[in-house]
Amino acid sequence: MATLAYEVRRRDPELVGPASETPQETKSMSDLDSMDVMRSQASTALFYRGGEGEDGADPAGVIRRALGEALVHYYPLAGRLREIEGRKLVVDCTGEGVLFVEADADVKLADLEAAGLRPPFPCMDQLLFDVEGSNGILNCPLLLVQVTRLLCGGFVLALRCNHAMCDAIGIAQFINAVSELARGLPTITVKPVWCRELILTRDPVVPRPSVPRTKPNVLPPPMVERSFTFRASDVVAMKKSLPLPLCDTATSFEILAAFLWRARTTALDISPGDIAPLVIGVNFRGDARLSLPVGYYGNAVTTSTVLADAAVLRSGSLGEAVALVRQGKAVGATEHFRSMANGTEVRGSRTFNPANLFAVSDTRNIGFHRMDFGWGEPVFAGPITTFFPMCYFIRVKDRDGEDAYVMPLMLPQPQPAMDRFAAEVKRSLLEDAKHM
């Protein structure tokens, strides 16, 4: 991304509570919500072209009003988390509110687009300012929202959510409710459902994330971040290169995950005989054995791990890697639905260097890209950054209006690792294009 610097002027942060009275009570969190892996913050940004809203409305004011109205339905988000016996989390529904920041930036959306409008974003720490005392897990606001007006009339909605409260699908459900109320709908279309008691990890049908065994005391090196964009036509070309029946049945997720997994393994020059694991996020909302109701907004994602020898992965075909990804998805949907009463599942007995691990999370169908607050759909909507070893799949439109997917990822410094990855992506795309 090209270098771009600009100034952001923020008003003092304020707490926005529910717009009307809500129950004062304590609610239990699910076992999955309480896991250490969920005790983190997740950040998302939506960039809008903007323009004149209805009656010249200000986006910050509209979103602030709608936020308070949505919190009436999602009142636990206006509360605070605390820990009880056994490190179990509960949320005290106090109605204290979520943090809201209104700001103005000396930059146009066109400037951001010229710089790439892809993670990592320039000055993102100003578009989502880390308000002092706001980023804890316990006894802190559960949501931070910042609306920043741009010089051109566009604006940026950036938010940070306590992951213990919601996964990406859950927070998207809440923000969509805010967008509906911002547009003037009389009520929200999807009613929130709590039901956290349905996810108890000692229940035989509830999945827990699979955790591959890593070598101890291996410190991660410094990282460099970059985003890569794949057009829908690129995925079509990759699919045509696959053997039967995969060329007819492989999904875009399976193809892209396999493609990136192989390219990353090559770029890191992982030694033959070493394991290059792939961790896949698996949403289990649709599994009939749990019967999670529509509107459930807690954490409902587990992981599945696929282990492959680096040399086999690099020398094998894209089709073979796609088959491994498909196998991993199936494992995530079936094998994990069994008793985990003795703790977190560990798949496989071989250990590996954690620097070799690659994780993928598909956010393309969560719905952020369709959220309209009254100024149209966003030109970009998705995670603001990634972390090692995660790669997000983000839905966008390219400059020609064609469907495309942005994949931000981090690789260890020095830069040659990222340069090798970029070269491998370019080489593979050119090779696949021959099949068009």
- Residues annotated as part of the active site: 163, 372
Cα(112)–Cα(22) distance, integer angstroms: 40
At residue 36, φ and ψ (nearest 5 deg) are -55, -40
Enumerate the β-bridge partners of residue 410.
Answer: 225
Among 182, 180, 263, which Cα is nearest to 226's? 263
Unique residue bearing structure tokens 């196998």: 327
Residue 294 burial class via C-beta count within 10 angstroms: exposed 0-12, middle 13-18, buried 19 and up: exposed
Our measurement of the distance from residue 426's CA atom to the centroid of its chain's CA atoms, rounded to an integer in Å, reads: 25
- Beta strand 25-28 with 88-93 is antiparallel
Q: Where are the beta strands (DSSP E) in 163-211?
A: none
Residue 248: how many other CB atoms lie within 10 Å: 8
Strand 403-412: give its sheet, edge to edge: 223-231, 403-412, 390-397, 358-362, 278-283, 301-306
At residue 274, φ and ψ (nearest 5 deg) are -80, 150
User: Are 273 and 356 spatial neighbours (Cβ–Cβ below 8 Å)?
Assistant: no
Residue 264: partners with Cβ closer than 8 Å, 6 or more residues away: 358, 409, 411, 421
